[in-house]
Structure 1
Amino acid sequence: MPYLHPERPSSADTLTPVTRARGDQDRRAATVDAPGQSSGIPTARPDDDPVDRPTTDAPPPRGGRAGGGLGRRIAARAAARLAATSPTGRYVAVLAFVAAVVALLVKYLLFPHLSINNDEALYRLQAQTLAAGRLFPVAGDPAASYAPWLAVPTDGHYVLKYTPFVPALFALSLLVTGGFGAGLALVAAAAVVTTYRLGLALFADRRVAAVAATLFTTSPLVVLLDGMLLAYLPVLVLAQLAVLGLLRGLAAARGAPSERRGWRDRRGWALAGAGLAAGTAVAVRPFDVLVLLAPLACWAVWTARGGRGWLLGRVGLGLVPPAALLLAFNAAATGSPLRLPFAYLESEDKMGFGVRRLYPTDRAHDFGFLDGLSAVGNHLFLLGGWACGGVVMLGCAVAAVARRRVGAAGTALGVGALLFLAGYVAFWGAWNAAFLWGGIKYIGPFYLLPVLAVLVQLGARGLVDLAAWRPRLAGAAGAVAAGLTCLVLAFAIPANVTLTRHDRDLDTIVDALPGEPLVFLSVDPEYLMHPTSLAANPPELDGRVRWAVTRGGAADLAVVADNPGRPAYLLRIPPAYNRTPDAPAGTRLERLAEHTGDAVTLDVAVDPSPERAISARLVVTGPTGDVSYPIDPDRPVTARLVIDADGVTLGALTRQTGLTGNPKVLRTRTPPARAGNRVVALAVYVTPADTGKEKFVDRQLAPTVVNTDGTVTVLASTGQVAATPGREPPPLHLAAPGSARPASGSPP
């Protein structure tokens, strides 16, 4: 880490001389800091740029041809500027370049098929939609069969969960370069630069700012987020730009009227830029930004004195464009300018305690205060390793605050981080990520990125002070931080490599399908892009592979009829696919065909349980009710399912073929009209010996329609055509015996 030595920095590395903090006479580095200023903002000249502005400009060379002279003048100015840049500035430039390279490596090597965070697929789809000149992706027919993850079909299109501000950046990258790598690299580099600039604005010390940028860049959480199509890092860049603009313009608002007249033109635009950045960030993640920046904003208004109206006016001017765009988008998406699309799908997906759901068919989750506390605690525990030396940095930050070394602005940001954590106690999404999904163990506690950004600033202040006081102790702290970082990355990278390998194997078998296939995804809940982002259609449903969710009955047969030139397949994925690196990941690809007759018979097979189990059961769902059949979990089970106009019957299941007890009727229904859609499904439940608690293992539909002539049409498998080598593939098999007419097209 740069400048962790106890010597006094040279004048080239000192932005502004300040008074020594009271009681700190023994610290030789104190002369470059501003801990004692009541405003919390280092004093600077109006025309002073605190980041590596060259002190002199080389005069342009004279003579020569016009073209050559211009080129030489540009080269000379660039060389002069580079020569005048401080070593710290060059270091930060290299650090930003490294972050950009890391973003590309993470994107294309670690997450070529996106990460296990399904929101990435949403941002990708929204960016592709904007790049195609549309605000919303086109809806298929039936719309629910093609619905992307957490999308709402309406008026011939899908409304996605998030606002389009961050996807617009990725769309620009896609339009200009043909991919998302350039946009990710730009955001990663910008995050490093804004972190450095924020350190300068808070502490007026290049050493502290460079250490903060280093801690931020090398944090495992940031390393992975650099290459992920998510909003957390872009929003943080916007928030830091807002803070920088506010601090830059605040000096003018706080000065005397005569001083403000000289500064307003230059500093006023910084305030407008702060409003623009803050407004855009709020439009993407309103709760995060408002809570984090509220203490700083209150402090800024309080200290502006006679310039409050001018400050608020300039900031408000910058807020107008993002606010207008957000209101217009809300009106187009939800029909109301004041209604965000976030809760458009499910009204119970919101802040606060009580019953919470992520989507309408999600089971009710009773989220309480203790759940929120445990979720925040879990995230903080992970942040202790996913931030570069998080535990060490926390100690340094606490020491810096206790010794009053962070100034008023830094203190306000620290208070904002604490309020952020307190607010997240009432956010059920953090509880969902920590305990229901659990993916933050492998990609980091991404919700706490704003807390990390504040932690590295305050921790850098404390670490530099520690280096000035006890260099060896600071070196030991740095070694511990590096060790924790390496330990977390040594765990996270192999885990994500395994998860990516599962998607790569799946992509291989799907990509090998001939022609333009129609692939049904057997998954619950019934959305595409989940649990793998590979199952995704482009914005206008014009990809070589067309994906749909198998929903059973008339919906699946309608999808087949709407794609007459596409051979139909069924992709079977384990329910826990890619939930963890050790979760079941075996998948099967089966050919589908339509079977019509007075009765359609399907072969049923259940594989033995891979774990020692006490019991198992096979549940058959038909139009007249649900029936549970106890089966042997330790041996292959076979049976035959007969589907006719009156219902379904499970036959040939005996003691010899795996039955272990008497069937039990779980639920009865009123028989439907003779013609129409039928719900036919099979599900397997197993009770493991180690837990004694029954769990759901697999489910498969048999899409069925009763025709007006009394015959039935069933869309069923004619056999497996490919499989991935992952462990524990779906154990339930449902297929027609012998050959049958394909649903459409020709078989492979």
Structure 2
Amino acid sequence: MVARPLRQQFRRLASTDAATRVGRLRRRIDSGTAGYLTLGVGAGIAVFLIAVFVFPYHSVNHDEGVYLMQASMLLEGQLTLAGGDLADVFRPWFFIADGGDLYPKYNPVPAAMFAVSMALFNEPRVTLAVVAAGNAVLVAILGSMVADRRVGLLAGLLFAASPMTLFTSSVFLPYAPTTLLNLSFAVAYLHGVRTGSLRAAAVAGVAIGLAAFARPYTAILFAAPFIVHALWEFGHGLWIDDRSLTQQVRLAGSRAGFRSLPNPVQRNTLTGIGGLAFVGLTLAYNAVLTGAPLTFPYQAFAPLDGPGFGFREILDHEVVYTLDLAIESNRYALQFLGTRWFVGGVIGTLAAAGGLLVAARWWRKRDREWGSTAGLLLAGLFVSVPLGNIPFWGTHNMLAELDNPANGLVSHFGPFYYFDLLVPLSIFAALGLVVGWRWLREGAAFDRLATVTSPTAAGGSPSLSPSSPPSRLAARPRARLPNRSTATWPTPRNTRPPTSRSSRLTSRTPSCLFPIHTAPGRTTPSSRYGTIPASTARWSTPATATRRGTSRCWRPIGTGRSTGLPTVGCGHRIPTNMSPRNWSRCRRRPANHYRPTRGSVSPSR
């Protein structure tokens, strides 16, 4: 008799806890997070299916066997193979014979990533899917940092759908895993710059250190714009500090003294320490295998295989690599990337050029200070990666014939030494596409198109017949908010006149978002319609606002968590003369909607 009520009570408590957990999870996973998850899962599944069905027996690139062999060695706790007398008779591809031992010419970081899924699932292709998902999501996050979440998600989609991403990520090569580490560094570094987080700075150092351990030259080319920015921040932080350089160095020795240094100095110091720690690990790895810290395994395999000009040689292949040949080889590689291996081909590349021009306009007008920092650093990859690949003759090797994209390794995987260049291409292409679409949608292009194509227009006249109903596009209203401080809200065109208490927008364009009356405690939704509050005298154009070129919203720069973070929203300004602390983030639409906090405004119906 007593046990049944107790069981029922326990079940009720369990169901309540489950409902609470589900509610909390639902509140944490907003629409933007769901978009990132969907993008990552889709990219991972696509790469896994290609790896299983297109490359079931691997590809024509023999380097795959090196990394899988190295992964098996790591699972057994070995860095070398004991070949004995057979080392001179039988040798795996790209392995170096050192007496009776054999070791691969590549660094072990990508192989270690493959070994994780081999140990957990007995299937190394799981790592390929995880790497592809991570790359797509990180590109989307970077795109959100440069512009907004819509641009970010589109950038991740463009990156994941690029042919070079799909094919290079589906084989056991180091380019996609190294890009994952580089993107992790970029996201953590920019997050640290934005928020001043020391943990993010430490994560950035570890990520770029691992990337340097995996592929040192690739990591240096990717990190070059960030290193320049870090040095500038570090020097500027020391310059504005009133203490002398000797005092600052002395303070860095203690934890309390280190905390007293300017935040940019602290952040970049932690990033540098993390990166240099893995540089030391790389040198130790070289010393164990080759006997010299500065001699990499690839140099022991082929001393003339590194960057530089002149006579280059690996195995039985040799060439005199001149500057003219380097420029020509890289020109063809970039041409093939922009026309064949980036999503959309020429159209996608032109969209990226347009997005770069839009971003340059922001930077010139200083409309978006934070977005300018992220965008400039990513745009710097257009300089560092091509310039750095010029003295590297590997780009020439993957082109069997310079002007023939259907021959050589480039015909199978694209110019994979430019894999990192897909990141800024995808972000700025997404920016160009979103800006172009918004310009078409909010401009008069649709109206003119509807007018010309309307069957009621006679003799090519742009006017519509008064007796005939206007087309949907021609009647599209565009609500405008005031550009200067006003005491009242304007009534958009083609809307009903305001009532005594409020004015309701009836525009069917989603480009105008207004605060909407909600019950206390409820989140203000982002809607095509909005109720204008009666206390309009409290609303005006903000004095401190940051405008985003492709965004459609103005908001005051807040304090605390939202310091200096411009957001998106409607096509014009959300006017307010209230304190920025009266604004909070709308959890339902955090990417493009902000609302007044509870009690800061009194809207009425």
Of 211, 228, 231, which residue of structure 2 is paired with 1:301? 231
Whether 1:468 and 2:455 are equivalent positions in the alignment is: no
Residue 95 (structure 1) shift: 2.0
Corresponding residue for residue 376 of structure 2: 411
Could you tell me which residue of structure 2 aligns to residue 398 of structure 1?
353
1:455-501 residue CA offsets vs partner (Å, 9 max, x unmatched): 1111211211111112599x9xxxxxxxxxxxxxxxxxxxxxxxxxx
* Aligned-partner Cα distance in 2 for 1:69–1:319: 49
Cα 1:71–1:216 change in 2 (3 A) is farther
Q: Aligned to 2:179, which of 228, 233, 236?
A: 236
Q: Structure 1 residues 252, 443: closer, same or farther in 2, change over 3 A?
A: closer
**1:215 maps to 2:138:** no
2-side partners of 1:65 and 1:376: how far apart? 71
Are 1:128 and 1:171, in contact at CA under 8 Å, matched by a contact in 2? yes
The answer to whether 1:190 aligns with 2:155 is: no
What percent identity do the matched residue pairs reach? 29
Mapping of 1:246-261 within 5 angstroms? Answer: 246-253=189-196
SS of 1:375's partner is: helix
Q: How does 1:619-630 map to 2 (within 5 A)?
A: none
Distance 1:315 1:74, change over 3 A: farther
Q: Counterparts of 1:289 and 1:377 in 2: how far apart (Å)? A: 22
Paired residues of 2:107 and 2:215 also in contact (CA < 8 A):
no
Q: 1:187 to 1:73 in 2, by over 3 A?
A: farther
2:97 partner SS:
strand
Code of the residue aligned with 2:121 in structure 1: it is T
Q: Secondary structure at the match of 1:107?
A: helix
1:74 and 1:187 map into 2 onto residues whose CA distance is: 32
Structure 1 residue 424 and structure 2 residue 357: aligned? no
Q: Does 1:288 align with 2:218?
A: yes
Paired position in structure 1 for 2:30: 86
Q: Give yes or no for contact 1:104–1:184 (8 Å, CA) kept in 2.
A: yes
Shift in CA distance, 92/142, structure 1 to aligned 2, threshold 3 Å = same
Change beyond 3 A, Cα 1:471–1:179:
same
What is the CA deviation profile of residues 186-212 of structure 1, one whole-angstrom value per residue up to 9, with x for unaligned ones? 111111111111112222x11010010
The within-5 A match list for 1:503-522 is none
Return the alpha-carbon distance in structure 2 between the equivalents of residues 103 and 215 of structure 1.
14
Distance 2:16 2:336 in 1: 53
Distance 1:65 1:231, change over 3 A: farther
Partner SS for 1:152: strand
Q: Is the 8 A contact 2:286 2:296 kept in 1?
A: yes
Aligned equivalent of 1:152:
96
Measured in 2, the distance between the counterparts of 1:72 and 1:141 equals 69
Amino acid at match of 1:208: V
Q: Secondary structure at the match of 1:470?
A: helix
Distance 1:296 1:313, change over 3 A: closer
Greater helix percent: which structure? 2
The one-letter code sitting in structure 2 at the alignment partner of 1:454 is P
Q: Is 2:269 aligned against 1:313?
A: yes
Counterpart of 1:344 (choices 300, 306, 313) is 300
Cα contact 1:102–1:227 (8 A) shared by 2: no
Provide closer, same or farther for how the CA distance between residues 66 and 191 of structure 1 changes in structure 2, counting only shifts above 3 A: farther
**Partner residue of 1:559?**
none
Work out the CA distance in 2 between the residues paired with 1:233 and 1:472: 38
Flag the 1:68–1:273 CA change in 2: closer, same or farther, 3 A: farther
Alignment of 1:349-498 (within 5 A): 349-359=305-315, 362-384=316-338, 385-403=340-358, 404=360, 405=362, 407-435=372-400, 438-471=408-441
| Aligned equivalents of 1:235, 1:125: Cα separation in 2 | 19
Unaligned runs of 5+ in 1: 1-62, 254-266, 476-748
Q: Please give the alpha-carbon distance, in whole angstroms, between the structure 2 residues aligned to 1:301 and 1:69.
A: 56
* Superposition map of 1:719-734 within 5 A: none
Instruction: Determine the structure 1 residue equivalent to 2:108.
Output: 164
Aligned residue identity for 1:430: T
Q: How far apart in 1 are the matches of 2:421 and 2:308?
A: 21
- Alignment length, in residue pairs? 397
Mapping of 1:321-340 within 5 angstroms?
A: 321-340=277-296
The 3 A distance-change label for structure 1 pair 71 and 317 is farther
Distance in 2 (CA, whole Å) between partners of 1:331 and 1:350 is 18
Does the residue aligned with 1:356 lie in a helix, a strand or coil? strand
Per the alignment, residue 44 of structure 2 pairs with: 100
Provide the C-alpha distance between the structure 2 equivalents of 1:390 and 1:301, rounded to a whole number of angstroms.
Answer: 36
Mark the CA change 1:419 to 1:74 in structure 2 (over 3 Å): closer, same or farther. Answer: same
Q: Hey, which of these two has a bigger chunk of strand by percent?
A: 1
1:70-101 Cα offsets, whole Å, 9 max, x none, are 67635642454235533343233122112221
Where 2:411 maps in the other structure, the secondary structure is helix
Deviation at 1:422, TM superposition (A): 1.7
CA contact (8 A) 1:102 1:226 kept: no
- The Cα shift of 1:155 comes to 3.9
TM-score with structure 2 setting the length: 0.62
Give the CA deviation at 1:216: 0.5
Which amino acid in structure 1 is aligned with residue 191 of structure 2?
R
Question: In the alignment, which of 151, 167, 170 is matched to residue 224 of structure 1?
Answer: 167
Q: 1:550 maps to which residue?
A: none
Q: Which amino acid aligns with 2:352?
A: A
Corresponding residue for 2:200?
270
- Contact 1:401–1:411 (8 Å) recurs in 2: no
CA distance in 1 between partners of 2:168 and 2:304 (Å): 28
Note if contact 2:233-2:265 (Cα within 8 Å) is conserved in structure 1.
no
**Which region of structure 1 is more displaced relative to structure 2, 162-171 or 377-386?**
377-386
Matched, 1:109 2:53: yes
Amino acid at match of 1:160: P
Residue number in structure 1 paired with 2:587: none
Aligned-partner Cα distance in 1 for 2:85–2:134: 42
Question: What's the CA shift for 1:363?
Answer: 4.2
Give, as a single letter, the amino acid of the residue that structure 2 aligns with 1:110.
V
SS of structure 1 residue aligned to 2:209: helix
Q: Indicate the SS of the match to 2:400.
A: helix
Letter in 1 for 2:320: D
- The 1:78/1:169 distance shift into structure 2, 3 A limit, reads farther
| CA–CA distance in structure 1, aligned partners of residues 345 and 392 of structure 2 | 23
Distance (Å, rounded) in 1 between the aligned partners of 2:280 and 2:168: 29
Preserved CA contact (<8 Å) 1:248 1:270: yes
CA distance in 2 between partners of 1:434 and 1:156 (Å): 35
Task: Map residues 659-738 of structure 1 onto 2, 5 A cutoff.
Answer: none
Q: CA deviation at 1:408?
A: 2.9
1:177, distance to aligned residue in structure 2 (A)? 0.8
Decide whether the 8 Å contact of 1:199 with 1:212 is kept in 2: yes
1:196 alignment partner, SS class: helix
CA distance in structure 2 between the partners assigned to 1:132 and 1:65 by the alignment:
52
Post-superposition offset of 1:430: 0.6
Kept after mapping to 2: 8 A contact 1:292/1:413: no
Q: TM-score, normalised by structure 1?
A: 0.50
Separation of aligned partners in 2, 1:82 and 1:182: 28
Q: Deviations over 1:215-237 (max 9, x none)?
A: 00111111112321111111111
Could you tell me how far 1:321 is from its partner in structure 2? 4.1
Cα offset for 1:418? 1.9
| Partner SS for 1:349 | coil
> How much has 1:370 moved relative to structure 2?
2.0
| Structure 2 SS opposite 1:228 | coil
Aligned-pair Cα RMSD in Å: 2.6
Separation in 2, partners of 1:166, 1:71: 44
Gaps of 5+ in 2: 1-6, 238-261, 363-370, 402-406, 446-605
* Counterpart position of 1:14: none
